[in-house]
Structures are given as structure tokens and as C-alpha cells.
Amino acid sequence: MEKILVSACLLGEAVRYDGKDNLLDSPLWQGWQQQGRFVSICPECAGGLPTPRPAAEIVSPPGREAVGSQAIRVLTVYGADVTDAFEKGAKDALKLARQNNIRFAVLKARSPSCGKGLIYDGSFSRTLIDGDGVTAALLSLHGIEVFTEHQLQQLAERLAEVEA
């Protein structure tokens, strides 16, 4: 049975920047949870950021090529540079995935850590652009397939393929 790395907020943990959660309510999700597939992490908390914390966005070019380079910067709405915490959290997530032989992750959409495919543009105007969050990019770079909470059916199909 494949384990799945999961954003802690999707499991109901109050670890979002605003101190809230993003608890998912889906039959697929509940089934996987009952099967004990989930390994939980909040990369931002793992990186040392408190809850609640100021909103943050990637303000440099997003994408896999930026991870681990000087190009990526993550700033709070107040201008504080939290890049190091985001990168530490991403590395902790990768380490946890490797320790558990994880090949799949479900991460919070649009997050500067966990977003996959679309993230906020760094202007704090809620404008979305193509790109991945720091953790999603690092996991993808290391061969872990990343899905958002809006792609559970696609993950179910992948699990069926690899567990057949």
C-alpha cells in the first residue's frame, strides 16, 4: 500500500498562516485516511514559522528551476524574507517522504509552499500565476508526484495503476 505525503491543514490541523485549517471532506480522502496511508507535514511549520503568521508569497520566478537557488525569494506581506524557513520546510518534507518511501503527495493548492501548477504572484493581490510552491517544486524535482486537493481522482487513478 502506497503512503501519501499530505499537507497537515488538509487533515484538519490548524496550521495555516491564519491559524485555520483546510479540512477535506471526500469519500476518497476518508477512505485513504482510514487505510492509514497519510504521512502529515506542514512545511511552513516544519521550517520554523509560527501559527498564525503573516501571509507570504513567492516574489521571484516560480518553478522547479528556482528551488535551492538564489533566484527564489519568499516574502511576507510586510516584506520580511522567510525564504530560509520555506526551504528548510521543503527539505524536511522531502526527508520525511524518503523515510517513508513515498511516491505521491497531496498538497494545498495555491500555497507558496505546497501549491502545484498555480500560485499567487507575489503582489498579495490574490492574482494567480503558473508555478509551484517551494515544497511542491522540490518534491517534484525528486520524482514525487504532487497533486492538490482538487486532483484526488487523478491520484486515485495513479494509485490504482501502481498497486495493480
According to DSSP, residue 67 is labeled T
Q: What is the pLDDT of residue 62?
A: 52
Q: How far, in Å, CA of 51 to CA of 93, rounded?
A: 18
DSSP per residue over 137-161, as a string? HHHHHTT-EEEETT-HHHHHHHHHH
Q: How far, in Å, CA of 100 to CA of 27, rounded?
A: 24
Neighbours of 145 (CB within 10 A): 17
| Residue 125, C-alpha cell as written in the block | 493581490
For the chain (length 164 residues), average pLDDT per consecutive 10?
97 97 95 97 98 93 51 91 96 98 98 95 93 95 97 97 94
Q: What is the pLDDT of residue 64?
A: 44
Q: What is the pLDDT of residue 61?
A: 57
Task: Say if CB 90 and CB 138 are below 8 A apart.
Answer: yes
Which of 95, 83, 102, 84 lies closest to 39 in space, CA to CA? Answer: 102
Q: What is the pLDDT of residue 72?
A: 80
Domain definitions of the chain by residue range: 4-163
